[in-house]
A and B are shown apart, each in its own frame.
Chain A
Amino acid sequence: MSKIRITVLIIIALLIILCSLFLGPRVINPFGLSEVEKEIVFSIRLPRVVVAVLMGMALGAAGAVLQGVLRNPLADPYILGISSGASLTAALGLLSGFYSFGRFTLPLTAFIGASLVSLLVGAFGWKRGGLWPERLLLAGVGLSFLFHAILMLLMSVSTNEGLRRALLWIFGDLSMADWSLIPYGLVFIAAGLFIALLRAKALNALILGDEFTHSLGFSANRERLLLFVSMALMTAASVSLGGTIGFIGLLMPHIMRFVAGADSRALIPASALGGGAFLCLADLIGKSIFTPMEVPSGIVTAIIGSPYFLYLLRRRDVLSI
């Protein structure tokens, strides 16, 4: 039963990726590419699709991991303030005129911010030799509010027009995607995904509670730390690839529990696949709907995502909260 569903999911994902290459502001016939169209498909659309898939995968998988680690089905990688921390450091970097790494400056400052916030949240969440889910959640929400406030402060007192425009990037923008950033993003996302898949059994056990985790032969503290690192790596890499894209981390695990089952060994790869396809679709819609203008993908994911999420809430067999 779930095998059929997973096959359908893979086919849909591949179809969306193909559509993203040949649909868009203008439809391109794949069997008669002109020179201009070749360039658009291979150096504009393809890297953009790859970035969308990578970011979506990272967010979907990070959501599945975090919901398990925090034992909270409403958790989203952004709830821990990782994205607002990334936005803040990116904005500070722009304000101070820091541009030493050229086009890598913004992604790099965002990545540093995301990593620092992960460490900070981890430090706040640490007590008696382990991470405590409730502490993590509270620290994350608190820091998130603080970073938002500082960001708003910067926005309201700054006369730097460049900052305001660059903040568009922070609200989820894939338009600058090109091949140069992809290898770096890929390394971190692959590392995070690898750890998550390797520790998927432990994640299942953590969902049952620390005592069962112990009884089933895992160290709850060690596993939670590993999975937290995996989640932070994926989220940070995703934020620095294309800014803050909401809802995928929250939504995908919920949909995929229905499609692939709640077992993390299936849920993590399914959430990754679903997240990748979903962001790809959202980006396709965002760049096609008001052509030649573009709508940031983060806005599209939220607009599609929220009604579907509300629909899911009505299905008691999927959600039991």
Chain B
Amino acid sequence: MAEKQYSMEKLIILFLVLISHFDAYSALAGETPKRIISLAPSITETLFALGLGDNIVGVTNFCDFPEEAKKKPKIGGMSNPSLDAVVSLKPDIVVVTTDGNPREFEERLRSMKIRTFVFGSRRLKELPGGIRDLGVAMGVRERADKLAKEMETTLNSFNNSLRVTRDASLRKKVLFIIWPEPLIVAGPGTLIDDVIRLLDNENIASRAKATYPKYSIEEIIHQAPDVIIIGKGHADMKEASSSLLERLKSVPAVKNKNVCYVSDSLYRLGPRVAQGIEEFAGCLR
């Protein structure tokens, strides 16, 4: 039985190879893989945005956007995906990220002759390029190009409008809270830090030495942020952060009611980044 299946597969591969030889266009663009596994929520979102949702056969336990992603078979966590689950889904390609997946896992897949694509973008300005590369590998170059262009337009619009019109005194001190108790904030090297910079404001936690530092409350009082942005979490964030904000009541952001609750769109370097930037811009206006 297994023998038969194996030869069936061989036949299919032969068939595909033949087709790709005959069809010059598709050979140039790269074949669109039929069975894709995504090892990160940001990649899952990007693949869906590129119209590849139907080709995805496996996602991580954390992939919850868009809604359809939740129905896909799960292959485990980001840091601990199950090799067994990945292999048994017979992927044509596995998309891994340098930001969260273990490197050894990718090497292991390659040693088993499973094709991989490494998504290397980690910062905001690398994202359009990353999407283009992904698009080429997935055989959807045009769609990727379109998505990347949209993104570049958004980024540039903020860049240009702000750089020209604002002077330094309008710059606001911003703190992004990921979790209130214990207090975890967005530090340097994060997408959130990039966006705060893009909008020409200052992230007060950018001096910290970790990307997601456990932050000192008295330092916040000293640094007196003008705006506090609180990201979406698994609890009701208004309720969860109420006692923290009570203690920060003397800080300008809290005093002037400049506390803003946003979605989780900036937690993932994917297609919703533009939407996240708009949200931030709204908070900082």
Partner of B205, one of A163, A166, A180, A292: A292
Q: A36-B250, A102-B239, A291-B216 are in contact. Are A176 and B182 (CB under 8 A)?
A: yes
B129 within 8 A of A: no
Question: Residues of A within 8 Å of B, CB-based: how many?
Answer: 38
B235 within 8 A of A: yes
- Using CB atoms, name the residue of chain B closest to A35: B250
Q: A103-B243, A178-B247, A293-B214 are in contact. Are A36 and B222 (CB under 8 A)?
A: yes
Contacts of A39 in B (CB 8 A): 221, 250
A159 within 8 A of B: yes
Chain B positions 214 through 257: 1 when the CB is less than 8 Å from some CB of chain A, otherwise 0: 11111101111000000001111001101110010010000000
Partner of B216, one of A161, A166, A175: A175
A-B interface contact total, Cβ < 8 Å: 101
Residues of A within 8 A of B (CB): 24-26, 35-36, 39-40, 43-45, 97, 99, 102-103, 106, 156, 159-163, 165-166, 168-169, 173, 175-176, 178, 180, 287, 290-296
Residues of B within 8 A of A (CB): 61-62, 77, 80, 178-179, 181-184, 205, 207-210, 213-219, 221-224, 233-236, 239-240, 242-244, 247, 250
Q: A25-B219, A44-B217, A162-B235 are in contact. Are A292 and B179 (CB under 8 A)?
A: no
Contacts of B219 in A (CB 8 A): 25-26, 291-292
Contacts of A295 in B (CB 8 A): 214
B218, A99: Cβ atoms closer than 8 Å: no
Contacts A162-B179, A162-B234, A173-B214 known; 16 new A-B pairs at CB < 8 A: A25-B219, A25-B222, A26-B218, A36-B224, A102-B239, A102-B242, A103-B242, A159-B62, A168-B182, A168-B184, A173-B182, A175-B216, A176-B182, A176-B183, A292-B205, A293-B209
Q: How far is the CB of B73 from chain A (nearest CB, A)?
A: 15
B216, A294: Cβ atoms closer than 8 Å: yes
Among B178, B218, B219: residue with most chain A CB under 10 A: B218
Contacts of B179 in A (CB 8 A): 162, 165-166
Q: A99-B236, A161-B233, A176-B181 are in contact. Are A40 and B222 (CB under 8 A)?
A: yes
Q: A168-B182, A176-B181 are in contact. Are A45 and B218 (CB under 8 A)?
A: yes
Among A106, A287, A290, A293: residue with most chain B CB under 10 A: A293
Q: Offer 18 A-B interface pairs, CB within 8 angstroms, sorted by A.
A: A25-B216, A44-B221, A97-B234, A99-B240, A102-B243, A103-B181, A103-B242, A159-B77, A160-B234, A166-B181, A169-B181, A173-B214, A175-B217, A176-B182, A287-B216, A290-B209, A291-B219, A294-B214
Would you list the 4 A-B pairs with minimal beta carbon distance, nearest first? Answer: A292-B219, A162-B234, A293-B213, A165-B179
Q: How far is the CB of A35 from chain B (nearest CB, A)?
A: 8
Partner of A36, one of B183, B210, B221, B243: B221
Q: A161-B233, A162-B234, A293-B213 are in contact. Are A44 and B182 (CB under 8 A)?
A: no
B222, A26: Cβ atoms closer than 8 Å: yes
Q: A162-B234, A165-B179 are in contact. Are A40 and B215 (CB under 8 A)?
A: no
A293, B233: Cβ atoms closer than 8 Å: no
